[in-house]
Structure 1
Amino acid sequence: MNLGALYALEFFVAYNNSLGTNQGNKLMSFLTSLFNCSNLQHLNLAMNHFKGFLPHSIANLSTKITWLDLQDNYISGSIPRGIGNLVNLQTLFFLSGNMLTSSIPNSIGKLSMLEILMLDKNNISGEIPSSIRNLSRLGTLDLSTNMIEESIPISLGNCTNLLQIHLDYNRLMGEIPCQILGTIPTIFRQLKGIQELDVSRNNLAGQIPRFLGEFRFFQYLKLSYNMFDGEVPNGGVFTNISAFSVVGNTIIYQNKRSRQQVKLASPLQNKYLRLSFGELFQATNGFSPSNLIGEGGYASVYKGILNSDEQIVAVKVLKLHERGANKSFVIECEALKNIRHQNLVKIITACSSIDFTGNDFKDLAFEFMENGSLENWLQPSLLEQHEPKNLNFVQRMNIAIDVACVGQSSLDELQQGWTKIGVEIQMRDCLFIKVKWWLGGY
């Protein structure tokens, strides 16, 4: 109990002994004796017989401490809120294998230097605090074998250096946020002798790391059905198209011999937002029938919400099994690149990709407008008679004037495009389609 007199003490390591007793709170007395050790950096009391509550006064230990290990004892109580005072905790924070209860305090987010957090094999309850987003240097998180509830917070996605997450044997609910499954970690760069790698059918995102093209011994690389975007690297395994698979992503592969792009991310110009099939799938709740807002001969239209900025969109999915749908898609994209008008619904992006089953997928995404189509306003169906939609004469005149302002040249261009694929369409029909977009349809 006189160790506190050693003012210059920096390291105290006494793990795997029989210190403490099964009776009384010797841990509190011992830790209290260390409060004067202002240079203490490393404290390891793991695998002993310390019993009793984790003292709140632990927050009074040296702020220089980087390593704290109290695992495999008989420590009970809750993690003190003042734990956030130990701002230099860095290499280890081990409280595994004890009898801790209550929830993880929000103050854990103040430990911004933390690299490893081990709280497994306790009786911790509550939810994972959102403040965990501040632990940007965290590489290992182990909260397994507790009673943690609710869902995995999206904020965990801010911990971009995470390599290990252990959440098994808890009471978690809901979906696993795609934000916590990020890109392939750069530590993979050290696997120089790797021959095969299969990370298909996950939620990996971002660009494919170029260092994968530096591995000399790669025989096969499978990155299929993720959320990768951008260009495929052009070195190493990527020079042999039969040695890697990237289907089910939104990417560009450049064949050096033919200098042709065999997979286009989007037929529209680069200034438009780029969305993958996975993002659109998520935005429309898996293209759920409950999100269906319209259907035509060549396409079905779904309401969706983009996770990136919570923008509401109308996603027009082409029925590629219908003859002429592919040509219609290309022609519509070309027309939309050249036509700009205040009365036309804004195009957000186009996606030409592959779905999760390996089939071609094409869509156009527009701004969503709430008021439905002009057709339902002018000729409401019998099912809508209980909620009549009325347009007076002045409103109808204003609509006609605005339609006329779309411009004859733009309509002629659309007319020519549809005629190319053998579809005769009268100008009044073309006007009607544009008016429907203007008023708030798809």
Structure 2
Amino acid sequence: MILATFVSVTVLNLNSEDLARVVPPHIGNLSFMRKKLFLNNYSFSGKIPSNLSHCSNLLNLDLSVNKLQGNLPTELSSLSKLQRLKLKFNSLTRNIPLLFGNLSSLQVFTIGSNNFGGKNPETLGWVRNLNGLSLSDNKFVSTIPISIFNISTLTNNNHISGVLPSGIGNNFFEGPLPSTISSMRGLQILNVSNNRLSRQIPKYLELLNLTNLSLSYHDFKGALPTIGVFRSVISTSFVGNKKLCRGLPDFQLPKCDYKESKHNKKASASSYSEQGLLHVSYHNLLKAMSGFSSTNLLGMGSFESVYKGLLDQTQSNMAINILDLSHEGASKSFIAECEVLRRIRHRNLVKVLTACSGFDFNGNDFKALVYEFMSNGSLDEWLHPTALQNTERSKLSLLERVNIASNVTCALDYLHHHYETPIVHCDLKTSKVLLDDEMTGHVGDFRLVRFLPEAMHKLPVDKSSSIRVKGSFGYIAAECGLGSVVSIEGDVYSFGVLILEMFIGKRLIDDMFENGLNLHRFAKAALIDRVEKLIDPVLIQEI
């Protein structure tokens, strides 16, 4: 093979040339090739040579628009420097090899219009630099793995073609469009036509930056949205959906002659409202969070995610706590917190603005609490900053720590002694103390609170009961940790631990705490004659 005699090739382009009709079998011997190999648009047949894997410096491989058959060689997964792999418009079959997740440098992967089948491998989500993906017009039998939509370069600058979690053009996918699409703010073209999708067209599509949308030949029903891409007849296609109605006049759809379902009513208007609280819907919150955008995510807990959001009604930032209702106890937690926040008000408690309990656009249960946004985060973040936070923030001064401790004291005093029924927080710790613009402390997270019988300070708890004492390790008094009592004294113990953490500057779980030593015992021993070794070095330096 004459190609094997080339010794200094960096780019080889054989496209549209009158050469042999099969990919040269010895082309992999060009292991010295440094950059690009173009064999596209020539009608090559046969299989892709596995020895292409010898071209270890290859950056760009284009075998598009040929008649290649057989499987995708697993050996190509060793091309660690490969950035662009194009195989569209061939007759390739079988599965995508799992090892293709090892192509860590891959940026563009296009295999549309082939005969690939089986499942889309979860390992594609490992390719963290991917910003272009086309899987359309194949014979896949599964959804795209959710891991793909965690690739930041893909979701922020999206060039996905044809396929989304539950849709590939000309296949047999059923059910609703998945809500995960709502977070893909960079998505511009979405084509899931010729499938069997049903229910209403999700309103979150209004919020995306789509320039072209095709939902033709499905079983969608109900009112057509009217915002975003739905304003343009040219940019949208809904042919073959006989149950759609209303929409803008240009679409010439019939009037809706049915009553909106209970689910849809609850998605469009909040089902929870109290005097003085905002009225918000699922749609309001979705828009405020930019469609569950990862850039708006503030943090995640055991069964909730907290997003920063800008509500149209107030034009100010809010903290939106979205409950993951798949976790056992999440609904009870929501009800408990609503009950508390409905009844209590204090300047040092995190202020609840509203709650939303209903359904999303797919008819799934949805529950959220909306709080006043605390711009300076949690006390825990200030005491134990990450490397990035360490460079952005100054350390808490002695005066600031004293003021925050006083704020927490006032909040507990109100809960324990100045409400009609004593209230026990049950999970007081530094991460539950949030700081506003002026570094004022506010106690938050009331999911585990307990109302005590009037004029009583202790409430016996059945150890087998679902309302036994819960909390965080290290902050719970020993007697409460056994699940025996709920008491305001338990909160006081937690407050004492919080004060130690604030002024010692160490976490409850620290490398120095072993063989039974903990923060409490460390402080008790040091107070005798080693106070200078106890105090946070930041405070010693300040003094």
Tell me: CA distance 1:181–1:35, structure 2 relative to 1, closer, same or farther (3 Å). farther
Counterpart check, 1:65 vs 2:58 = yes
Range that drifts further, 173-182 or 138-147: 173-182
State the partner residue of 1:55. Answer: 49
- TM-score between the two structures when normalised by the length of structure 2: 0.43
Counterpart check, 1:149 vs 2:126 = no
Tell me: CA distance 1:15–1:95, structure 2 relative to 1, closer, same or farther (3 Å). same
Amino acid at match of 2:204: R
Counterpart check, 1:314 vs 2:333 = yes
Q: Following the alignment from structure 1 to structure 2, what is the Cα–Cα distance between the partners of residues 252 and 125?
A: 43
Cα shift readout 1:342-399 (whole Å, capped 9, x = no counterpart): xxxxxxx9673557799xx87599xxxxxxxxxxxxxxxxxxxxxxxxxxxxxxxxxx
Q: Secondary structure at the match of 1:314?
A: helix
Counterpart check, 1:265 vs 2:323 = no
Counterpart check, 1:97 vs 2:89 = yes
Amino acid at match of 2:56: T
Query: Which runs of structure 2 are paired with 1:329-368 in the superposition (5 Å)?
Result: 329-332=341-344, 334=346, 337=349, 352=354, 363=369
Cα shift readout 1:74-126 (whole Å, capped 9, x = no counterpart): 11111111111111111x31111111111111111121111111111111112
Tell me: CA distance 1:120–1:352, structure 2 relative to 1, closer, same or farther (3 Å). same
State the partner residue of 2:325. Answer: 284
* Structure with more relative contact order (C-alpha pairs < 8 Å, separation 6 or more): 1
Tell me: CA distance 1:252–1:36, structure 2 relative to 1, closer, same or farther (3 Å). closer
Structure 1: gaps of 5 or more residues: 188-198, 206-219, 231-248, 256-260, 267-273, 286-290, 292-301, 306-312, 320-324, 339-348, 366-406, 419-425
Q: Secondary structure at the match of 1:65?
A: coil
- TM-score between the two structures when normalised by the length of structure 1: 0.51
Tell me: CA distance 1:304–1:174, structure 2 relative to 1, closer, same or farther (3 Å). farther
Q: Secondary structure at the match of 1:124?
A: strand
Amino acid at match of 1:9: V
State the partner residue of 2:274. Answer: none
Q: Following the alignment from structure 2 to structure 1, what is the Cα–Cα distance between the partners of residues 121 and 455?
A: 54
Amino acid at match of 1:315: F
Contact 2:28 2:49 in 1 (8 A): no
State the partner residue of 2:5. Answer: 5
State the partner residue of 1:275. Answer: 321
Contact 1:108 1:132 in 2 (8 A): yes
Contact 2:63 2:87 in 1 (8 A): yes
Q: Secondary structure at the match of 1:138?
A: coil
Of residues 67, 80, 84, the one that matches 2:73 is 80
State the partner residue of 1:251. Answer: 309
Query: How far is 1:183 from its partner?
Result: 5.9
Q: Following the alignment from structure 1 to structure 2, what is the Cα–Cα distance between the partners of residues 10 and 413?
A: 79
Contact 1:154 1:180 in 2 (8 A): no
State the partner residue of 1:191. Answer: none
State the partner residue of 2:26. Answer: 32
State the partner residue of 1:304. Answer: 330
Query: How far is 1:157 from its partner?
Result: 2.4
Cα shift readout 1:389-442 (whole Å, capped 9, x = no counterpart): xxxxxxxxxxxxxxxxxx998554331699xxxxxxx97479799768994249
Tell me: CA distance 1:140–1:186, structure 2 relative to 1, closer, same or farther (3 Å). closer
Q: Secondary structure at the match of 2:109?
A: strand
Q: Following the alignment from structure 1 to structure 2, what is the Cα–Cα distance between the partners of residues 330 and 264?
A: 21
Q: Following the alignment from structure 1 to structure 2, what is the Cα–Cα distance between the partners of residues 158 and 45?
A: 32
State the partner residue of 1:160. Answer: 152
Amino acid at match of 2:466: G
Q: Secondary structure at the match of 1:72?
A: coil
State the partner residue of 2:38. Answer: 44
Of residues 413, 416, 420, the one that matches 2:418 is 413
Q: Secondary structure at the match of 1:315?
A: helix
Structure 2: gaps of 5 or more residues: 189-201, 209-226, 230-282, 291-306, 362-366, 372-411, 424-450, 469-543
